[in-house]
């Protein structure tokens, strides 16, 4: 059987011949003709003209022929929708065929035909197939629901297929379960808010059972789905981990990596003191090492992931340095990745081995690899102080080889070593200077110039050296020009007498003959400094430099956490969040690691309990160029999370304001930084921010003083749980200050004294852009008299929003510890978000329009508020008293549209469109915000306010 | 998920193109050709992102297989799938070549339709696929046969069909190990590990339940604890015969093995597929028997001459024979001539491979042999020094360098009337060189 002949027909009039053959009476001839058509299709020829003739062949007993015709249909149905209808009958008939393979084939193919008219006919057969007696048909139908959803999501919902699909999760056949999970996960991704994959302990249990029975691919689907689950406490997390660990011995690397993902994620919830935590760490290392004996492409995927894992939990692989040694025959992409991990694992214990390896690599053939190896030696010197000496001598040996790019790379890293260990290795400068002529790359030239300038006083002929560079000043790259300018000014400040001419020359070159504004500016600054105050110039130019950090190229911690949630996927290969390379709304849902649960920490005070690394240990992060590009939208890359909350917040607010409203932020900013107890007049912001908006301003200044809606007090801590102390409370916001109104009742038989209160730090973290509300008590809890049995006191505790922060789920969760003379009690409560709506949350109308357009549509969330029979005016004034301001109002086709804005204490703006239909009790709320995770809570606030 | 799958020949012509998702257009086919196959530079990564579309590729001889997607897919899964795809194709029509792909393109489309649905991999066990993708049409099957097929494809034991019968129940176990070494010129072991595979060929009737045991340290120690009295005698015996158990760093199993049982009891139990399959893979790093030691000596005599002397020593029982021994000594690019003298076997300078290749057919344990060579060099003004690639070695020995021993493989088939004793079992150990290198 040789089908290759079909690829060779290229003569003219081919289509006519094929047409004749397709209509032939002979079955064999027909089949041959269809094969030719498919072959032409494969190589990219347009054979759509044959559509009716091919479809005519569909009615056949020959399964092979049928499959070929289906293949053709999938390719061309879209371009010929009317004719595609001709095929529908056959599909519907095939879905009833006694042979399950044919039923499945029909339903599988129908789902691939993206023609609206056909999808309507698909619904009935699909419904039957979802309940088919044969598992093969059911598993195919499950995937078909995902296909249909991709074509017409509304149809799938209307037809109730989602519920049927959910039922399939409990199917008796593991493969049906796996495909249903895959389909549901995909559908859920495009509906981030819906609770499609209603994961709860029961359904998780079902999935874990199916995990043991289904195919390798099914196991991957299930594990990837499990990774999205958030266990309710550490015990549940542990029990899931226990059932997932056997997967680490699977032969399929993807199963192993997905299992690693689940474990890495749930491990976050386990206390480090648990024995199990240690066991789990030990179990993770061997499978990761085994991945390195897979095929090279998989090794690459594994190494990119290990790179993340090593950054997140260095302890897992710290003894496995040797397995990352580069093999001579490794493909270059594997070599480069291994090298990266070697540097990360380098420590005092293994540095000798690592250095010996690196020296070996520096003599290899591949230029990129050699450069990286040389650079790695420099990094080792900076990372492991004890090895610095050996590293420097290794680098000097390498410089002696005179291989051009090795020398240049070595000089670049030696510059860093000089900065890290000042006054230690300067003796090698002479050797470096010998290689001046061979430097032709800007980075190396700039490094060399920096060295000459920095150590000008020790290099006798520094002026000559720099002068030689100056000759071709205009041909140099900007990097070199800037460095040369600075170096000569340094030289001048150190040896003013003999270099006057030189400095004049460089200053005039930089300021008069250059087109580069950066260069000109720097030139002018130096010039003025030198001419007005040489002492100041000395202080500025020769200032002591900050130390450089030990670790470079670390991934920013929040990004790292997100990437850990994507282990095994493309995101972990690119080291970028999916939003950086996936189009549209899919996969843009941010993932974050689960927080440590309270139960494991309850022995400690909540204030100190959940800390990762103390701020001092947090490494300074220098994001690599690539990361920066991926993160252009996430504005607060700079400050590490551990920074003081006040500073971080204001930086972040600035970033939001850049996009939000310029003027408002001036007032907003002061409000934010000022102690929150000081009342800021309610609508102070509005008049400054908006001249125009006053025209549309309906109710500004009305009713704002009455304060936000206050919910009735609820019992937060029942007496049963707190040895007789009952606490009920609520939150209020009155003219700019937030307070927690508490009612303490003593239901015990003894007197209670010494009350104190503390909050767990709360925040929601999301990919660098942080929605955080650091609520904290602004004053101690003041219960003056001892509380005698059966007595009740009411206290109002002022709150500030500048407390330190940590992740909370949900984000308005507040964990509170109350202490009295008897014990410490913990409870948690959800605070309504509207207490965080500030008084100057009114946005200028034009700003509103611009901002609304500017926020991407993915961030828009829509909600229904039912049973709210208010008219527009009433709603508007009701909302205004809780600091939700109406910017404009419009009437469109009998509906009232209210455009509203509000601002949270941390400077995040939320824009809203409230659609009210007179006579209809439910209204529609659309919210747009740059931090979409708050939308859900804003909606809840709306609902509470409007209904009370 | 996978949006499309393309197969190209070495020129970049499309042989197979199957699109699963609407977001992958025809231009993706060309984008890969232009940016990867026809790229000027050597490919730097198996994953390429071109205009927000990601391409995963693997190469088999001259053939490129590429999977395409626009979503954040499970990358490990895509590569595993591509390898599996190669296995399936190889099982159907042998070597993956342009010729074979063109000859079987209809079959390939049929397979792609079956093993990938909407970009989700489905059952891809060749055993199961061969029951219903036959290129003959399946109309002739009876109803029972059909439901048997579907239940096998989707079932818990998707790798084996029921009703298999053999007159002679027989099984073969091959312990295949590759021993990897990186040694410094001074003879210091920089890294060494054994990656082993246990390959089983089973010709057993019915649905046999198998249990496999080896001298795994953890199991042996556990048993030792269990019955202290009885084993104390056995322990004595064990000590007298030397190394009895080995420490396995990590192992992975074929999907037929019950992983949860291994995790809890460390016992390896399974219902095997019919015919040949890889039961397990493992890796060890401790107490490895290195079958050969290579002692290199390279001396540069002036700028135009190198003297090389290499001694190899075999390090195993004298009664055993190593086979297919090959030592590869790299030579500089500017070599003009080589004179070789060796004590045993044949040695040749191969200019095209820049190496002296020394072959020895057989060599017993505890022997040693030596080669010396004089390499003439052309004078060059290339400043860069010769990189001195490591000396590599190939061989095959009739034992397992890790020390692994098969202790038992028990077979139970409760429904049929044959017992463990009736099964004829064969065990064979082969140790091969993996990357066995000594730097010089």
**Cα A79 to Cα B184: distance, rounded to the nearest angstrom:** 65
Residues 6+ apart with CB under 8 A from A892: none
Residues 6+ apart with CB under 8 A from A879: A885, A886, A900, A942, A945, A946
List chain A residues with CB under 8 Å of B45: 300, 333
First and final C-alpha spacing in chain B: 47
Average pLDDT over residues A601-609: 39
Interchain pair A243, B260: CB under 8 A:
yes
**Cα A308 to Cα A302: distance, rounded to the nearest angstrom:** 10
What is the full DSSP assignment across B245-267? -B--SEEEE-TTB-HHHHHHH--
**φ and ψ of B102, to 5 deg:** -65, -40
Nearest CA in chain A to B259: A246
Percentages helix, strand, coil for chain B (3-state, rounded to 5) are 25, 40, 35
Residue B81's CB is within 10 A of a number of other CB atoms, namely: 27
| Residues within 8 A of B (CB atoms), A 263-322 only | 286-287, 289-290, 293, 295-298, 300-302, 322
Looking at the partner chain, which of B56, B135, B252 has a beta carbon nearest the beta carbon of A249? B252
Residues 6+ apart with CB under 8 A from A562: A577, A590, A591, A592, A767
List chain B residues with CB under 8 Å of A62: 137, 139
**φ and ψ of A593, to 5 deg:** -70, 150
pLDDT of the residue at B224? 67
List chain A residues with CB under 8 Å of B143: 98
**Cα B353 to Cα B331: distance, rounded to the nearest angstrom:** 9
List chain B residues with CB under 8 Å of A363: 385, 387-388
Looking at the partner chain, which of B46, B151, B253 has a beta carbon nearest the beta carbon of A251? B253
Give the residue among B54, B60, B53 at the shortest CA–CA distance from B85.
B60
Closest-CA distance, A816 to chain B, in angstroms, reads 39
Average pLDDT over residues A308-328: 91
Nearest CA in chain B to A3: B103
| Residues within 8 A of B (CB atoms), A 167-206 only | 173-176, 179, 182, 186
pLDDT tens track for A396-432? 988 888 888 899 999 999 988 988 888 788 888 888 8
Largest CA distance in chain B: 82
Question: Does residue A941 register a pLDDT over 60?
Answer: yes
Q: How much is the CA Rg of chain B, to the nearest whole Å?
A: 27
Looking at the partner chain, which of A75, A182, A286 has a beta carbon nearest the beta carbon of B120? A182
* B33, B12 Cβ separation under 8 angstroms: yes
A948 in contact with chain B, both atoms CB, cutoff 8 A: no
pLDDT tens track for A580-595? 888 765 545 677 787 7
Average pLDDT over residues A764-768: 39
Closest-CA distance, B383 to chain A, in angstroms, reads 7
pLDDT bin (cut points 50, 70, 90) of residue A138 is very high
Return the minimum-mean-pLDDT range out of A104-108, A493-497, A560-564. A493-497
Give the residue among A325, A239, A243, A245 at the shortest CA–CA distance from A282.
A245
pLDDT of the residue at A370? 92
pLDDT bin (cut points 50, 70, 90) of residue A182 is very high
Looking at the partner chain, which of A67, A174, A254 has a beta carbon nearest the beta carbon of B76? A254
**Would you write out chain B's pLDDT as a tens digit for each of its 440 residues?**
899 999 999 999 999 999 999 888 888 999 999 999 998 877 789 999 998 899 999 999 899 999 999 999 999 999 999 999 999 999 999 999 999 999 998 899 999 999 999 999 998 888 888 888 876 655 556 777 777 777 777 776 778 877 888 999 999 999 999 999 989 888 889 889 999 999 999 999 998 999 999 998 888 887 766 544 444 444 444 443 445 789 999 999 998 899 888 988 889 999 998 888 999 999 999 889 999 999 999 888 888 888 999 999 999 999 999 999 999 999 988 889 999 999 899 999 999 988 999 999 999 999 999 999 999 988 877 656 677 889 999 999 999 999 999 999 999 988 888 888 889 999 999 999 999 999 88
Interface test with A, best of B43, B50, B74 (most A CBs within 10 A): B74
pTM of the model: 0.70
Cα four-point dihedral sign B218, B223, B224, B225: positive
List chain A residues with CB under 8 Å of B259: 212, 246-247, 249-250
Counting one residue from A and one from B, how many pairs have CB atoms under 8 Å apart? 288
Give the residue among B177, B170, B168 at the shortest CA–CA distance from B199.
B177
Highest mean pLDDT among A454-458, A488-492, A721-725, A828-832: A488-492
What is the full DSSP assignment across A211-277? HTTS-HHHHHHHHHHHTT---SSHHHHHHHHHHHGGGGGBS-HHHHHHHHHHHHHHHTTS-TTSHHH
pLDDT of the residue at A659? 38
Question: Does residue A545 register a pLDDT over 90?
Answer: no
C-alpha separations of A275 from A272, A358, B326 in Å? 8, 37, 50
Interchain pair B109, A147: CB under 8 A:
no
pLDDT of the residue at A664? 40
Task: Provide the pairing of β-strand B53-60 with B63-69.
Answer: antiparallel
Nearest CA in chain A to B76: A254
**Cα A886 to Cα A900: distance, rounded to the nearest angstrom:** 4
Average pLDDT over residues A55-77: 84
Query: Could you tell me which residues are beta bridge partners of residue B328?
Result: B357, B392
Three-state SS for B425?
Answer: strand
Specify the higher pLDDT residue, B72 or A816.
B72
Task: Provide the pairing of β-strand B47-50 with B120-121.
Answer: unpaired
pLDDT tens track for A653-671? 333 333 333 334 333 333 3
Specify the higher pLDDT residue, A1 or A773.
A773
Interchain pair A100, B139: CB under 8 A:
no
Nearest CA in chain A to B6: A42
Closest-CA distance, A227 to chain B, in angstroms, reads 13
ipTM above 0.85, yes or no: no
Q: At what angle do helices A234-244 and A201-211 cross, to 10 degrees?
A: 10
* A884, A942 Cβ separation under 8 angstroms: yes
C-alpha separations of A349 from A384, A387, A392, A658 in Å? 10, 11, 19, 48
* A716, A728 Cβ separation under 8 angstroms: yes
Query: Could you tell me which residues are beta bridge partners of residue B253?
Result: A250, B280
pLDDT of the residue at B181? 92
**Cα B55 to Cα A355: distance, rounded to the nearest angstrom:** 36
Percent of chain A with pLDDT over 90: 23
pLDDT of the residue at A2? 62
pLDDT bin (cut points 50, 70, 90) of residue A308 is very high
Interchain pair B29, A140: CB under 8 A:
no
**Cα A880 to Cα A877: distance, rounded to the nearest angstrom:** 5
Interchain pair B52, A583: CB under 8 A:
yes
pLDDT of the residue at B124? 87
Tokens 């973290």 correspond to what residue?
Answer: A765
A360 in contact with chain B, both atoms CB, cutoff 8 A: yes
Residues 6+ apart with CB under 8 A from A273: none
pLDDT of the residue at A808? 59
Q: How much is the CA Rg of chain A, to the nearest whole Å?
A: 34
Question: Does residue A644 register a pLDDT over 60?
Answer: no
Query: Could you tell me which residues are beta bridge partners of residue B323?
Result: B362, B396
Nearest CA in chain A to B119: A143
Give the residue among A492, A444, A452 at the shortest CA–CA distance from A468.
A452
pLDDT of the residue at A803? 54
H runs (alpha helix) in A790-905: 845-854, 872-880
pLDDT bin (cut points 50, 70, 90) of residue A615 is very low
Closest-CA distance, A332 to chain B, in angstroms, reads 7
The DSSP code for A567 is T
**φ and ψ of B63, to 5 deg:** -100, 135
Tokens 């009476």 correspond to what residue?
Answer: A25
List chain B residues with CB under 8 Å of A243: 260
Question: Does residue A433 register a pLDDT over 70?
Answer: yes
Nearest CA in chain A to B84: A252
pLDDT of the residue at A8? 62
Looking at the partner chain, which of A143, A215, A569 has a beta carbon nearest the beta carbon of B74? A569
Closest-CA distance, B229 to chain A, in angstroms, reads 31
List chain B residues with CB under 8 Å of A221: 120
Interchain pair B72, A569: CB under 8 A:
yes
pLDDT of the residue at A882? 82
Interchain pair B44, A332: CB under 8 A:
yes
Closest-CA distance, A393 to chain B, in angstroms, reads 19
Question: Does residue A375 register a pLDDT over 60?
Answer: yes
Interface test with B, best of A177, A254, A288 (most B CBs within 10 A): A254
Specify the higher pLDDT residue, A765 or B290.
B290
Interface test with A, best of B13, B140, B150 (most A CBs within 10 A): B150
């Amino acid at each position: 059987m040789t089908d290759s002949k079909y690829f060779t027909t290229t003569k003219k009039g081919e289509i006519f011949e094929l047409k004749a053959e397709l209509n032939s009476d002979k079955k064999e001839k027909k089949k041959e003709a269809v094969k030719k058509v498919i072959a032409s299709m494969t190589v990219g020829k347009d054979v759509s003209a044959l559509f009716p003739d091919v479809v005519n062949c569909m009615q056949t007993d020959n399964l092979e022929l049928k499959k070929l015709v289906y293949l053709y249909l999938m390719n061309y149905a879209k371009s010929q929708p009317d004719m595609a209808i001709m095929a529908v009958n056959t599909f519907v008939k095939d879905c009833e065929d006694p042979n399950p393979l044919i039923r499945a084939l029909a339903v599988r193919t129908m789902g691939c035909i993206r023609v609206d008219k056909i999808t309507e006919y698909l619904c009935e057969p699909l419904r039957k197939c979802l309940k088919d007696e044969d598992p093969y048909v059911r598993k195919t139908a499950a995937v078909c629901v995902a296909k249909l959803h991709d074509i017409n999501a509304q149809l799938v919902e209307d037809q109730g297929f989602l519920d049927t699909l959910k039922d399939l999760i409990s199917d008796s056949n593991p493969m049906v379960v796996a495909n249903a999970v895959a389909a549901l996960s995909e559908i859920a991704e495009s509906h981030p808010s819906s609770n499609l994959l209603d994961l709860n302990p029961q359904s998780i249990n079902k999935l874990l059972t199916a995990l043991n029975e289904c195919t390798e691919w099914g196991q991957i689907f299930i594990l990837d789905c499990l990774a999205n689950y958030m266990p309710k406490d550490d015990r549940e997390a542990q029990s899931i981990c226990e059932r997932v660990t056997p997967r680490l011995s699977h032969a399929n690397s993807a199963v192993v990596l997905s299992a690693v993902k689940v474990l890495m994620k749930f491990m976050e919830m386990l206390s480090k003191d648990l024995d199990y935590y240690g066991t789990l760490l030990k179990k993770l290392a061997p499978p990761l090492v085994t991945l390195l004996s897979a095929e090279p492409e998989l090794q690459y995927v594994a190494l990119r992931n290990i790179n993340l894992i090593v950054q997140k939990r260095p302890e897992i692989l710290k003894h496995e340095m040797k397995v990352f040694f580069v093999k001579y025959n490794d493909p270059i992409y594997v070599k480069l990745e291994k090298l990266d991990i070697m540097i990360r694992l380098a420590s005092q214990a293994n540095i000798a081995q690592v250095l010996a390896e690196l020296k070996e690599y520096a003599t290899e053939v591949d230029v990129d690899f050699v450069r990286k190896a040389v650079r790695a030696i420099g990094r080792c010197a900076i990372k492991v102080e004890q090895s610095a000496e050996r590293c420097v001598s290794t680098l000097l040996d390498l410089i002696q080889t005179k291989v051009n790019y090795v020398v240049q790379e070595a000089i670049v890293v030696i510059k860093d070593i000089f900065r890290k260990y000042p006054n230690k290795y300067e003796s090698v400068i002479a050797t470096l200077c010998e290689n001046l002529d061979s430097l032709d790359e800007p980075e190396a030239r700039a490094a060399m110039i920096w060295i000459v300038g920095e150590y000008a006083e020790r290099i006798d002929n520094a002026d000559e050296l720099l002068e030689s560079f100056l000759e071709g000043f205009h041909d140099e790259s900007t990097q070199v020009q800037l460095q040369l300018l600075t170096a000569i000014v340094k030289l001048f400040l150190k040896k003013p007498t003999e270099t006057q001419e030189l400095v004049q020359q460089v200053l005039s070159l930089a300021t008069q003959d250059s087109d580069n504004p950066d260069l000109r500016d720097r030139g002018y600054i130096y010039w003025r400094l030198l001419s007005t105050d040489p002492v100041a110039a000395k202080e500025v130019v020769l200032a002591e430099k900050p130390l450089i950090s030990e670790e470079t190229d670390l991934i920013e911690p929040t990004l790292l956490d997100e990437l850990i949630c994507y282990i095994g996927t493309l995101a972990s290969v690119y080291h970028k969040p999916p939003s950086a390379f996936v189009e549209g709304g899919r996969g843009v849902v941010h993932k974050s690691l689960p927080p440590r649960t309270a139960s494991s920490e309850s022995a400690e005070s909540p204030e100190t309990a959940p800390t990762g690394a103390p701020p001092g240990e947090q490494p300074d992060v220098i994001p690599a160029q690539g990361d920066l590009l991926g993160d252009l939208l996430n504005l607060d890359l700079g400050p590490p999370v551990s920074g003081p909350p006040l500073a971080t917040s204001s930086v972040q607010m600035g970033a939001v304001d850049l996009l939000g409203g310029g003027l408002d932020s001036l007032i907003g900013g002061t409000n934010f930084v000022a102690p929150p107890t000081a009342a800021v007049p309610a609508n102070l912001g509005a008049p400054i921010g908006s001249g125009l908006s006053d025209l549309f301003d309906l109710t500004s200044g009305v009713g704002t003083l009455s304060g936000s809606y206050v919910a009735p007090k609820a019992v937060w801590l029942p007496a049963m749980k707190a040895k007789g102390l009952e606490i009920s409370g609520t939150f209020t916001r009155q003219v700019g200050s937030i307070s927690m109104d508490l009612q303490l009742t003593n239901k015990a038989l003894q007197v209670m004294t010494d009350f104190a209160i503390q909050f767990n730090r709360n925040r929601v973290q999301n990919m660098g852009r942080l929605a955080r509300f650091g609520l904290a008590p602004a004053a101690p809890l003041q219960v003056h008299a001892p509380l005698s049995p059966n007595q009740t006191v009411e206290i109002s505790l002022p709150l500030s929003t500048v407390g330190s922060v940590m992740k909370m789920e949900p984000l308005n969760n507040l964990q509170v510890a109350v202490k009295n003379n008897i014990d410490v009690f913990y409870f948690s409560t959800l605070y309504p978000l509207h207490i965080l709506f500030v008084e100057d949350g009114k946005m200028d109308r034009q700003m509103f329009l611009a901002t609304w357009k500017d926020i991407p549509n993915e961030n828009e969330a829509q909600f229904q508020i039912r049973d709210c029979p208010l008219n527009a005016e009433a709603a508007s004034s009701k909302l205004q008293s809780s600091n939700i301001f109406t910017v404009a109002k419009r009437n469109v086709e009998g509906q009232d549209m209210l455009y509203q804005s509000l601002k949270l204490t941390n400077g995040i703006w939320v824009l809203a469109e409230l659609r009210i239909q007179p006579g209809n009790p439910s209204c529609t709320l659309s919210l747009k915000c740059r931090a979409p995770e708050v939308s859900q809570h804003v909606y809840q606030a709306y609902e509470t306010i409007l209904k009370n | 998920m996978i949006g499309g799958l393309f197969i190209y020949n070495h020129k970049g012509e499309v042989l197979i193109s199957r699109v699963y998702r609407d977001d992958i257009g025809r231009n993706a086919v060309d984008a890969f050709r232009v940016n990867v196959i026809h790229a000027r530079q050597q490919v730097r990564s198996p994953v390429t992102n071109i205009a927000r579309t990601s391409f995963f590729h693997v190469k088999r001889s001259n053939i490129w297989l590429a999977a395409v997607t626009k979503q954040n897919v499970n990358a490990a899964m895509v590569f595993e799938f591509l390898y599996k795809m190669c296995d399936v194709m190889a099982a159907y029509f042998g070597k993956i070549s342009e010729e074979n792909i063109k000859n079987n393109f209809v079959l390939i489309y049929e397979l792609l339709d079956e093993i990938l649905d909407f970009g989700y991999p489905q059952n891809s066990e060749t055993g199961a696929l061969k029951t219903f993708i036959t290129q003959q049409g399946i109309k002739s099957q009876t109803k029972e046969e059909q439901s048997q097929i579907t239940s096998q494809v989707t079932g818990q034991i998707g790798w084996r069909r029921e009703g298999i019968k053999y007159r002679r129940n027989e099984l073969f176990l091959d312990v295949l190990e590759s021993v990897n070494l990186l040694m410094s010129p001074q003879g210091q072991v920089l890294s060494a590990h054994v990656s082993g595979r246990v390959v089983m060929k089973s010709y057993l009737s019915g649905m046999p339940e198998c249990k496999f045991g080896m001298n795994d340290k953890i199991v042996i120690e556990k048993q030792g604890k269990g019955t202290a009295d009885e084993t104390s005698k056995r322990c004595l015996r064990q000590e007298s015969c030397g190394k009895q158990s080995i420490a396995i760093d990590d192992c992975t199993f074929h999907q037929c093995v019950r992983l949860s049982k291994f995790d809890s009891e460390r016992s390896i139990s399974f219902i095997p597929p019919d015919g040949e399959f890889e039961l397990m893979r493992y890796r060890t790093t401790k107490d490895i028997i290195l079958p050969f030691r290579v002692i290199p000596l390279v001396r540069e005599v002036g700028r135009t001459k190198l003297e090389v002397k290499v001694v190899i020593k075999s390090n195993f029982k004298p009664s055993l024979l190593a086979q297919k021994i090959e030592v590869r000594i790299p030579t500089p690019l500017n070599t003009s001539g080589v004179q070789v003298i060796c004590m045993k076997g044949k040695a040749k300078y191969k200019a095209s491979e820049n190496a002296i290749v020394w072959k020895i057919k057989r060599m017993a344990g505890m022997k040693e042999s030596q080669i010396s060579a004089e390499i003439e060099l052309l004078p060059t003004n290339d400043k860069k020094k010769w990189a001195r690639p490591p000396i590599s070695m190939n061989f095959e020995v009739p034992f397992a360098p890790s020390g692994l021993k098969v202790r038992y493989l028990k077979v139970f088939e409760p429904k049929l009337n044959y017992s463990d004793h009736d099964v004829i079992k064969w065990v064979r150990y082969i140790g091969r060189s993996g990357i066995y290198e000594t730097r010089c």
